[in-house]
Amino acid sequence: MDANKTVFVVGAGVIGLTTAIRALEAGYAVYLFAEVFPAIDPRSIKAASFWAGANHISFADPGSLMEEMEKETLEVFLDLIKQDPHVPVMTRPHYRFLETADHPALSRSDHIARFYANYGYRVLESSEVLPGMAVGETNTTICIDVPRYLPYLMERFYALGGKAFRTTLTSLSSLLTTPPTANLEPLNEAALPATPPAALINCTALGAATLTDVLDTAVYPIRGEVLIVRAPWVVPSITFHFASGDVSYIIPRQSGDVIVGGTFQIGDTHPTSRPETVAAIKARIVRVFPDILPAEKRERRDVRDLDVVLECVGLRPARTGTARLETSVLDVDGTKIPVVHNYGHGGGGYQSSWGSARRALELLAEALA
C-alpha cells in the first residue's frame, strides 16, 4: 500500500478502536498500539472503557464541538441497532429525577430538552415521579453492553484488516524510528510496515500526560466507582440527583447486568473500591429504586438482597476545557510526521466516539493533503 495511506493509532479504548475502524473504512492501512486492550484484558484501572455504563446523556456545552460529536454518535448507534440485531447496544427510556424542585442540576434541563427534542423528551407528570423525588424528565437513550461492545469493535477492526500490537510507550516517537525502539508484541500475526507511517493518531487518554513528547498537563483523572448488579428485569436507564449533591444512576446491559453508580472524584486514583463508597451506593439505590431488587424482596429494601456481581473502579480520562482534537508535528530523525490528537473525553467517550472519530479523520486528511 502507498506509504501515504499508512497510519499508526495509539490507544485501544473506545476512542482508539472507533477511530481505527473509521480510518480502515477510509482506505488507510492501520496499525493499533496499546498497553491495555480492554476488549481482551478488561480488568484494569488503566482501561476505563470497560467499566463504563454506558448510555447517552449529553453533558456538552450548547453549540460546542462536543455537542456536535454527541449528536452524530447517537445517530450512528441508532443506525447500528437498525442494521444489526446482534450489536450489543439497545434503546431504552431514560429518566432523570431530582430530589428538590430547585436542584442546581435543573440548569441542564433546557439543554437536555433541546438535545433530545426528537428523541421523546418530555417533563414527567407529578404522578410519574418516583416517591422521594420532586421532579423528573424522560427521553429515549441508548445503553451499551460494554463487555460485549468492545470485542465487537475489535472484531470489526480485525475484519477490516487492522493490525494490533501490545506495547508500553514512554513516547510516541519510539514507534516512529526505524526500527521502532518500543518493544512490540503482535496480537494478530501482525508485522510492521517497512517504512514509517504517514501519520499517527494519538488516542492515549490519560497516557497523554506522561508521554515525553506530549506531556499534556491539562489531562486529569476522574475516578468512578460502580457496582455491577444482576437484575435482568430492569428496563430503564435512570439518573437520580440528590439534595446532598450525590448522584446515583442505573444503566442496564443486554446481558441482564445493571451498572449501579457512582462517584465523580476528580484527581483521585485509588485503584480499588472503598467499603464506605460501596455501602453508600447500595443504600441510595435501594432507597429510591427498590425495583433493583427481586420482586419478593423489594418491600424491605435491604441492601443485602442486591445481587452484586462485581465492584469496579475506573478513571475517566478528562481534560481541562474539552477533548483535544487538533494536529501537531513530530520530528523523528529529520522526518516530520503529523500527529492527530483525539483524547480527553472524560466520561463522554462512548457517547461522542463516532463523531470524534469522524473529526479525527478530517484532521488526518487535512494533515496529509
pLDDT in tens, 204-250: 999 999 999 999 999 999 999 999 999 999 999 999 999 999 999 99
312 near 45, Cβ under 8 Å? no
Domains annotated for the chain, with CATH where assigned, are 3-368 (3.30.9.10)
Q: How far apart are CA 360 and CA 125, in angstroms?
A: 42
Grid coordinates given for 121: 423528551
Window from 31-35, 324-328, 331-335 with minimum mean pLDDT? 331-335
> How many other CB atoms are found less than 10 A from the CB of residue 259?
24
pLDDT in tens, 342-354: 999 999 999 999 9
Please say if the pLDDT value at position 51 is more than 80. no
Q: How far apart are CA 155 and CA 160, in angstroms?
A: 9
20 near 27, Cβ under 8 Å? no
| pTM for this predicted structure | 0.96
pLDDT at 11: 97
pLDDT in tens, 75-107: 999 999 999 989 999 999 999 999 999 999 999
CA distances from 350 to 77, 146, 353 (A): 10, 9, 5
